[in-house]
Chains A and B, each alone.
Chain A
Amino acid sequence: MSAPAHAPRSVVLCFMLSALGAAGFAASYVIGLGNEALGVSIGAAFAFLALGLARWSSLISAAEPEYVEERSIGPTPQHEYDAFKQALIEQPVPRSWVLWGSLGTAVAAIGGAALFPLRSLLPAMGTDPDAVLSRTPWKAGLRLVNEEGLPIRPADLALGGVVTAFPEGLDPREHVDTTTLLIRVDPSILQLPAGRASWVVDGVVAYSKLCTHAGCPVGLYVDTADQLLCPCHHSVFDVATGANPIEGPAPHPLPQLPLGTDGDGYLVAEGDFSAPVGPSWGNH
């Protein structure tokens, strides 16, 4: 049996259209027609290539019977397998586990020793991760600056306003744990934990911006509800009660930074945060 004469013409047509699409891609590139034109032209080129190949394949399949092949997979006969095992293990030295054992010890020792340079991936010797994570560089007297590096007065913030602050003189990218949120609220709504009344200046409170769940910056401040929302997993913190988590998976409140003012009226820290910042970790 033979396929009718017109059938392969469709295959040839598809391949010609594919070539046309490729030419269109080249033209789009040279003229600079933009992403859509580039994608559609080369995509169409491949699409017509696929169509032509598919048509060709189905023509062949339609004319061919199904083929049958025997599977010969199965376990090797036992005597041949024994011969293999003997050739692999026993020929070099028959039945000497001392020799094989000592070879294994040497290989294992080299493998173990090779792991030691991986220690260099860690920071310099003497760094204790738990100690580093427990503290931030904030200390008493350090001025707060905004993202442009300018110091902040309480009056700079409108009532209900929020700004992100860092310690003066430190590179924020190298000390992410110092990221602080300053929020100006009506002082009468504040119900902070005991002993923190002096941590507020003119209604300005300072909390760590790093969520205690997985460390995302808690960037959303809802003015009318005095709530902070973390966009990653939707933990909600209540600003008035010390950034207590009221919804979502965060288990701990945002640590608070004690605030004061210096001689020029700019905001300064009065110490480090009330608790380690960011997500809890295994040894904490």
Chain B
Amino acid sequence: MPSLLPSLLSRVLPHPRPMRKLDERLGFASAGRAALAKVFPDHWSFMLGEIALYSFVFLVLSGIYLALFFEPSTAMVVYHGRYAPMRGEEVSAAYASAVRLSWDVRGGLLVRQAHHWAAHLFIASIVLHLCRIYLTGAFRRPRELNWTIGLTMLVLAIFNAFAGYSLPDDLLSGTGLRIFNAIALSIPIVGSWLAFLAFDGEFPGQEIIQRLYIAHVLLVPALLAVLISVHLAILIRQKHTHFPGPGRRDANVVGSRAWPAYGLRSLSLLAAVFAALLLAGGLLQINPVWAWGDFDPATVTAPSVADWYILWIEGALRLFPPVEFQVFGFEIPNQFWCGVVLPGLIFGALYLWPWLDRRWNDDREPHHLTGRPRESPLRVGLASAMLAFMAVLLVAGSQELIVQWTGWTVGSVRDVLRVLVFVLPLIAGFAGRWVAESLRRSDLDHAVELGHREMVAGLRRRNRPQAQ
């Protein structure tokens, strides 16, 4: 060990005497030493979950600052601030406080924008982390519980982000609440009751902003904090998975020690995430609520779309044909299929996946060695199909941009997408499985190196992919 580092460390770490006094009261030193020596495997893809964790930390810290200024009330107030076109106008207190945060509170706009970018990064990194867990088979026994917890956190994160951008009570997000209300209404039998429960009556009511506020700043963050703690506790108890390699077995874990190597790397990622979010908050304008205007249920702006993590539902709503099916005498509105059934099916399949995977592979053994994605061409194919499906739905949600770029009509773009939403996942799924199979049979490291011979070999069908 370099002789330099202990001296550097001893200069940085707390002076021994106060820590000794703490140890006299708590007796943590032995357990602490074991904790500092815990081994974490080294791979960049294992850090994706940490991006999500640190985004959450940023969300909580920036959210506390915003909550000091935000007023979650729909009572009308008169705005008197720096934003001239709104001066003297009567708007809701929630909207006025959001505009005040942006124009009148110094540093408020930076925190507001960084907070919104952090929500994007939080959900995007959870999805990437989910893909890594899925493709490497890290959800297998004994980690099914952590997979379930992680999926639940994804659902909570998406809901909280939706609630968060609806809080400023602006025209764009208010229209999104209208669609949320319509989806609730579309549930058979109980739909109208559910919608009236959430909104205290007809849309928009006076209560929704306050209710979303409590959900957004209290209920969901508390739930997330508990779930994150359980998620990490399980991870620490079971120890992280690792890839096959020299000296690596199911019964051990090989990598860096928690302190100092891994810990410093992780702190660096924390600082890097904060840096990226603050740079984005400073350099890229996001959700300029003063420009959208305050929410007026008789008015609308265009394009009227949601953030990307909700936009896939909007895309499905746009592509769905104008039919209402009759089921048991009830006419089911078509928002039900796109807004309730589709997310239900997708998340339901994801929740059940560890058990489906176990049955498909007939593999009930515990696994701590994960495989490269190519080890399971089926999973690669399914992941490719799902991502292609989501991509088409996101494009459907971005039709305005496509139409403005290409000059085609909305109808023709819609028709093309209606075909693509079925065809592209099939093509992507089979292509993904083919590439993975070819890689698996070859000795190559990267897909770009695949040649004709490997690709032909990959076409040979197998009934079941090899278990680890």
The answer to whether A and B touch in the complex, with CB atoms under 8 Å apart, is: yes
Taking Cβ atoms with an 8 Å cutoff, the residues of A that contact B are 1-3, 5, 8, 29, 32, 35-40, 42-47, 49-54, 56-61, 63-64, 66-71, 73-74, 118, 121-123, 127, 129-130, 132-133, 147, 164, 166, 172-173, 176-177, 179, 209, 213-220, 231-235, 245, 247-251, 278-284
B107, B200, B282, B304: the one contacting A231 at CB < 8 Å is B304
Interface status of B197 (Cβ within 8 A of chain A): yes
A129's nearest neighbour on chain B, judged by CB, is: B192
* Docked-complex contact B253 and A69, CB < 8 angstroms: yes
A234's nearest neighbour on chain B, judged by CB, is: B410
Interface status of B46 (Cβ within 8 A of chain A): no
A71 to B236, CA, bound (A): 11
* Docked-complex contact A282 and B181, CB < 8 angstroms: no
A44 to B281, CA, bound (A): 12
Interface status of B187 (Cβ within 8 A of chain A): yes
* Docked-complex contact B4 and A43, CB < 8 angstroms: no
A51 to B275, CA, bound (A): 11
A59 to B272, CA, bound (A): 18
Per-position binary interface string of chain B over residues 384-403, scored 1 when its CB falls under 8 Å from any chain A CB and 0 otherwise: 00000000000000010000
A21 to chain B, nearest CB (A): 9
* Docked-complex contact A216 and B303, CB < 8 angstroms: no
* Docked-complex contact B260 and A57, CB < 8 angstroms: yes
* Docked-complex contact B204 and A2, CB < 8 angstroms: no
* Docked-complex contact B142 and A73, CB < 8 angstroms: yes
Interface status of B430 (Cβ within 8 A of chain A): no
* Docked-complex contact B191 and A282, CB < 8 angstroms: yes
* Docked-complex contact A73 and B237, CB < 8 angstroms: yes
Chain B residues with CB under 8 A of A66 = 42, 247, 254-256
For chain B, the bracket of interface size reads 35 or more
* Docked-complex contact B333 and A279, CB < 8 angstroms: yes
A2 to chain B, nearest CB (A): 5
Interface status of B414 (Cβ within 8 A of chain A): yes
16 A/B residue pairs, CB under 8 Å, sorted by A: A5-B4, A39-B280, A39-B282, A43-B275, A44-B279, A66-B42, A66-B254, A69-B38, A69-B254, A71-B250, A121-B211, A147-B298, A176-B202, A215-B203, A279-B335, A282-B332
Q: Which positions 178-217 of chain B face chain A at CB distance < 8 Å? A: 178-179, 181-183, 185-193, 195-198, 200-204, 211
A40, A69, A121, A216: the one contacting B304 at CB < 8 Å is A216
Which 9 pairs from chain A and chain B are nearest by CB? A39-B282, A282-B191, A43-B279, A46-B275, A129-B192, A231-B302, A50-B271, A57-B264, A53-B268
Interface status of B416 (Cβ within 8 A of chain A): no
Interface status of B39 (Cβ within 8 A of chain A): yes
Chain A residues with CB under 8 A of B368 = 71
Interface status of B422 (Cβ within 8 A of chain A): no
Q: Which positions 198-243 of chain B face chain A at CB distance < 8 Å? A: 198, 200-204, 211, 237-239
* Docked-complex contact A42 and B3, CB < 8 angstroms: no
Chain A residues with CB under 8 A of B190 = 282
